[in-house]
Structure 1
């Protein structure tokens, strides 16, 4: 079958109320209405780069659900396999910034529509059109049916020859049993092609501290794996069976909102792979997109289109350009 979709992803998206003031929620009076969700963030980021992306989920059949759906559709993401639920709500996320650059996040996601995603939503003909499956460690801990869905999707993707990209996106508030949680994520690592944890996430999951130790641990688990450690402002480090390198980060003068940077990184990386770039080139692109994201207020608002990315890339890689060309 001809590949008609570049990437398919599965997961929850929530409505966000993001304060316009750096004060406590109690004293905040003005909020921006936005959306958030690692999988939908990555879907939008890739779509803005011109890639064809499908997002599978469940939303409430009300204004919150319609708002999320409209944002995804408006950004060109295919929502053919999004179901609307008459019983359960769309998740809610409230941000609070008491101190600039330090954000508190409050989730209201228990018994949401997305937590009732089940494996019956998966369609092998739909997945067969794609090149990549992107998943996170969030969805399989939302519920037993979500857990079953993600593992069914992995199995189906492997049978169909898709490459699988996995970001653990550790959410400590969702962990009930730490040992079982780590075992579940490690089971996924053993099945995927690309593993993209943050360094602190990886340290929490495997107990090792340095990128070299962490990568050795995970390559012993899956010798066909490429692990990419996100190192924040320091950039990233990657290792596969025959390659290993640190990629320097992009300096940012002012961080506005760091939430969503990892999703921007992932979108930039996968976009590079889809464009035929090698790992190093894809990770340079990932670092640049991540740097762009942290300079905007919101999870998706800083995602660039191709022209915006190219303009920023030219500037950060050639800072000697004069002011007119900035």
Structure 2
């Protein structure tokens, strides 16, 4: 197993007849969740990925499992709840710079995840454990589950990849900051954005943020700086890897998950850090060009075509 990830995926409804829910009589139904987005992104790039979660034993939960399994993700560690339902959320894409999301996840099946849902041997077989700051925000037992998964990974030499993925609506700012810093201090690789770094440290300068995250103990920090691309930081160097221009952003949701999938894929392939981050930038950019949380996540062939086209455009400018 290359990567194991843990987190909630929900059923996503998007208005069809109007961008605004208040006027829409019809909705498309899809699925979305940061961790499963990363899992799907990695399987499309040829990696073996397992997803740990819990869904309701309802039609939507069954449909979700079938779909994610169909994308090549191992769902053998996903359990079903006869008591709690599968979570829902609605997404209004009013335009690329105004995406409104409404969650209906309180009391969802995934929020009841516990340490009893973890198989230590399953996590121990992975090369990387991918976690986000969303899961520990869902409930106290979810927080305990994530901390247990981290402990299992450390005991077995599994590298921990942490994307803070801040969701302020889920918990108090004080608790969020405390837990995000706690997890970051236990992680080998951290994938924050500048806004998350500002929230955690009260600092906006990318170079200072890189140093602060490294001081927590990470061996690699990859800091997203929007359209400019991303910096990577190690004890020996820091480098800005330019992003890929996108003429028209259709749907920005899921771009960060695509970025994470691209970077992890590059690390799994043993690429130099610059090339691994470049792959992350490419996947993140491509994710914004298609509606949906994961629909735009590319295959290797699609990445090659996209990057070659971008290079040709640069040459012709």
Q: Give the TM-score band, short-chain normalised.
A: over 0.9
**Compared with structure 1, are the counterparts of its residues 320 and 162 closer, same or farther at alpha carbon in structure 2 (3 Å cutoff)?**
same
2:103 match: secondary structure? strand
Please give the per-residue CA displacement for 1:31-55, whole angstroms capped at 9, x wherever unaligned: 2211111000000000111100000
Contact 2:93 2:100 in 1 (8 A): yes
Report how far residue 100 of structure 1 moved.
4.6
Q: Which residue of 2 aligns with 1:34?
A: 30
TM superposition score normalised by structure 1: 0.94
1:44 match: secondary structure? helix
Counterpart-to-counterpart distance in 2, 1:268 and 1:57? 22
Matches for 1:35-184 after TM superposition, within 5 Å: 35-176=31-172, 178-184=173-179
2:210 paired with 1:227: no
Counterpart-to-counterpart distance in 1, 2:18 and 2:59? 28
How many matched pairs? 316
2:52 match: secondary structure? strand
Report how far residue 118 of structure 1 moved.
0.6
Per mean C-alpha deviation after superposition, the further-off stretch among 132-141 and 302-311 is: 302-311
Q: Which residue of 2 aligns with 1:267?
A: 261
5+ residue gaps, structure 2:
none
1:23 match: secondary structure? coil
2:164 paired with 1:185: no
Contact 1:22 1:97 in 2 (8 A): no
Contact 2:2 2:47 in 1 (8 A): yes
1:318 match: secondary structure? helix
Please give the per-residue CA displacement for 1:12-37, whole angstroms capped at 9, x wherever unaligned: 00000112355321112332211111
